[in-house]
Amino acid sequence: MLTKRIIPCLDIKNGRTVKGVNFLNLRDAGNPIELAEMYANNGADELVFLDITATEQKRKTLAALVKKVAEKINIPFTVGGGITSVEDVEVLLNSGADKVSINSSAVKNPNLINQLATKFGNQCIVVAIDAKKIKNEWLVHLVGGKVPTTINLFDWAKEVERRGAGEILFTSMDNDGTKNGFSNTALATLSTLVNIPIIASGGAGNTLHFIDVFTKGKADAALAASVFHFKEIEIKVLKKQLRKNNIPVRI
Based on the number of CB atoms within 10 Å of its own CB, is 19 exposed (0-12), middle (13-18) or buried (19 or more)? buried
Under 8 Å between Cβ of 194 and 157: yes
> Which of 130, 176, 212, 220 does the annotation list as catalytic?
130
Residue 11 falls in the annotated catalytic set? yes
Under 8 Å between Cβ of 177 and 205: no
CA-closest candidate to residue 128, choices 172, 95, 65 = 172
Under 8 Å between Cβ of 216 and 188: yes
Q: CA–CA separation, 218 vs 126, rounded Å?
A: 18
> Which of 11, 45, 212, 220 does the annotation list as catalytic?
11
HSE of 241, CA atoms in CB hemisphere, 13 A: 15
Q: CA–CA separation, 221 vs 4, rounded Å?
A: 5
Residue 220 falls in the annotated catalytic set? no
Based on the number of CB atoms within 10 Å of its own CB, is 189 exposed (0-12), middle (13-18) or buried (19 or more)? middle
Under 8 Å between Cβ of 211 and 242: yes
Catalytic residues: 11, 130
